[in-house]
Amino acid sequence: MQMSRICTLIAVLLTSLFISCDKKPADKANPNERPYGILVYSADAEKEFLIRAESLMEGSYEVPKTARQVEPIVFAYKDGSYYGIDENKRSLTRYKPTENELVADKVCSLDTIPWKYFSSWYDWVSPDTLLIGSTMEGSQFVYALVDVRTMTVASHGTFDIPFPVKPEYYGGVFAKLRDNRIYIAYTLYEGVNSLAPARDTTYMAVVEYPSMKTLDLQKDTRSTWPGGYFLHAPFSLVNNGDIYLLTQPGGRTHNHPTKSTGIYRIKKGEDKLDPTYFFRPTDQQNQEGYLLYDLGNGKALIKMVEKKRVNRYMDYLEKRIVDYYILDLYTQKKTRIDLPPDRLKFEYNVLVENDQVYVAVNNGNNESTIWRYHVPSGKLTEGITIDGQVYMINRLQ
């Protein structure tokens, strides 16, 4: 009898222990306690996962044992939700962050609409409406409007933009919605089995929204390869209503022998590439620029590659070849930040909070360090280290 009581007591204690452990992860997902969401890939653990951090400046983070694989291609975070696309399942999924993972909240099927991940883009029409677009692997511009409250496709269709003539494809892709216009820029290049440079021309269609009627098609030869071909990296920004758009005719995208990285402007209230503005932050011989992160107040961050560090394509993937520069879009000047060299990754590894810019830099192994840069003073401070490669940083709401 005595033994039986003891056994019962032990059983009750163990059960209560398991119950309390089980509750732990979801209940602690309080943004106020751990306000930063960091998506990380660990080469050692061979998985992508979410880290919730109290601070970006103190401590270090390893792969949590409870970390679960993040499955989709996450490309956006807005108002408390992450959004990811799974091309194989042909679905757009909304995720909620918990303490240590992204939990699928609602799925929108893309099964019945034309969609290809390669060479795609997105923009927000409103907090409730997501506009996603694709070039269908360089052959046709299509779009879909998704109501993210119900996660349903509200409408979809094609843009009236001239088709490329074989053997050419659309190359580079930029699209931005402003007021009742969508500006879509691209170039043309020969695709498979051709290493011929892209055309030396940037094309830009001006499309009326929501009628999706094409109003104008412009050409500009100051640079080429506008934008990129990634859904999940920034190539443009809006400052005081003016759109600034980066061109990337470098070896990582599609090398052009004479055209250099540049920034076009589409002025507020005007439907054209501003002929009076073209910011060339570097020359074609020495550097290539990639990605444009909005710092606010007419400033931007750019990843710059010294061409002398690149002798072959694999150098883009293996070497730490990137320097970070602050661009002043008004004065057209650039200032190098004294950060260690980084790998060239097309991702959201930058977070801006007021005057502070947080940049996650790969340390040349399976580890990253987040640095804080104070824009007005230029002060640089080393922050947390993370066991993995950071590809998205957000302040969770």
Partner 1 sequence: MLLVVREHGLLGIMKIEITPELIIRYHQGQCTQEEKEVVVEWLLDPEAEENLHLPDGEPELIHKFEIWQGISNGVKKNARRGRLIRVLKKELYAIRPITRLAIAATVLLFVGSLAAGIYYPTRSVDGQVSLDNLAGNTAKNGKLASLSFTLSPQSKAEANIPAWTRAVQIRFCGSLQVTNNSENDVELVFSSGCKKTNYTLQKVTVAKGKSYLATHYRMETDEIIVVDKARILDLPPPLVSQFIKDFKLI
Phi, psi angles (nearest 5°) of residue 104: -60, 125
Q: For partner 1, which is the closer residue by CB, 36 or 229?
A: 229
Q: For partner 1, which is the closer residue by CB, 112 or 311?
A: 311
Q: For partner 1, which is the closer residue by CB, 108 or 266?
A: 108
Q: Which residues contact 368 (CB under 8 A, 6 or more apart)?
A: 40, 349, 360, 361, 362, 385, 386, 388, 389, 390
- The single-letter code of the amino acid at 13 is L
User: Tokens standing for 162?
Assistant: 């001239």
For partner 1, which stretch binds (CB under 8 A), given 59-67, 68-76, 276-284, 286-294? 68-76
For partner 1, which stretch binds (CB under 8 A), given 265-273, 321-329, 339-347, 353-361? 339-347
Interacting residues with partner 1 between 292 and 331 (CB under 8 A): 311-314, 316-318
Quick check: 280 and 286 in contact, CB under 8 A? no
For partner 1, which stretch binds (CB under 8 A), given 29-37, 224-232, 263-271, 377-385? 224-232
The CB-of-332 to partner 1 minimum distance in angstroms stands at: 29
Interacting residues with partner 1 between 241 and 300 (CB under 8 A): 251-255
Q: For partner 1, which is the closer residue by CB, 191 or 281?
A: 191
113 binds partner 1 (CB under 8 A): no
The CB-of-49 to partner 1 minimum distance in angstroms stands at: 10
CA atoms within 13 A on the CB side of 292: 29
Q: For partner 1, which is the closer residue by CB, 356 or 363?
A: 363
For partner 1, which stretch binds (CB under 8 A), given 2-10, 40-48, 106-114, 261-269? 40-48
> For the CA atoms of 292, 294, 298, 302, what is the dihedral angle to 10 degrees?
-30
**Among residues 233, 252, 168, which one has the least CA distance to residue 203?**
168
Instruction: Draw the binding track, 176-195, toward partner 1 (x: CB under 8 A; -: no contact).
Output: -------------xxxxxxx
Q: Tokens 């502070």: give the residue.
A: 356
User: Tokens standing for 158?
Assistant: 């094609």
117 binds partner 1 (CB under 8 A): yes
69 binds partner 1 (CB under 8 A): yes
The CB-of-246 to partner 1 minimum distance in angstroms stands at: 16
- The single-letter code of the amino acid at 317 is L
168 binds partner 1 (CB under 8 A): no
Among 50, 67, 72, 302, binds partner 1 (CB under 8 A): 72
171 binds partner 1 (CB under 8 A): yes
391 binds partner 1 (CB under 8 A): yes
Q: For partner 1, which is the closer residue by CB, 43 or 215?
A: 43
Among 244, 324, 346, 371, binds partner 1 (CB under 8 A): 346
The CB-of-195 to partner 1 minimum distance in angstroms stands at: 6
Instruction: Draw the binding track, 192-221, toward partner 1 (x: CB under 8 A; -: no contact).
Output: xxxx--------------------------
Q: For partner 1, which is the closer residue by CB, 303 or 345?
A: 345
347 binds partner 1 (CB under 8 A): yes
Q: For partner 1, which is the closer residue by CB, 3 or 192?
A: 192
Q: Which residues are near partner 1 by CB under 8 A? A: 39-41, 43, 46, 48, 69-74, 84, 87-88, 116-119, 137-138, 169, 171, 189-195, 229-230, 232, 251-255, 311-314, 316-318, 345-347, 362, 365-366, 388-389, 391
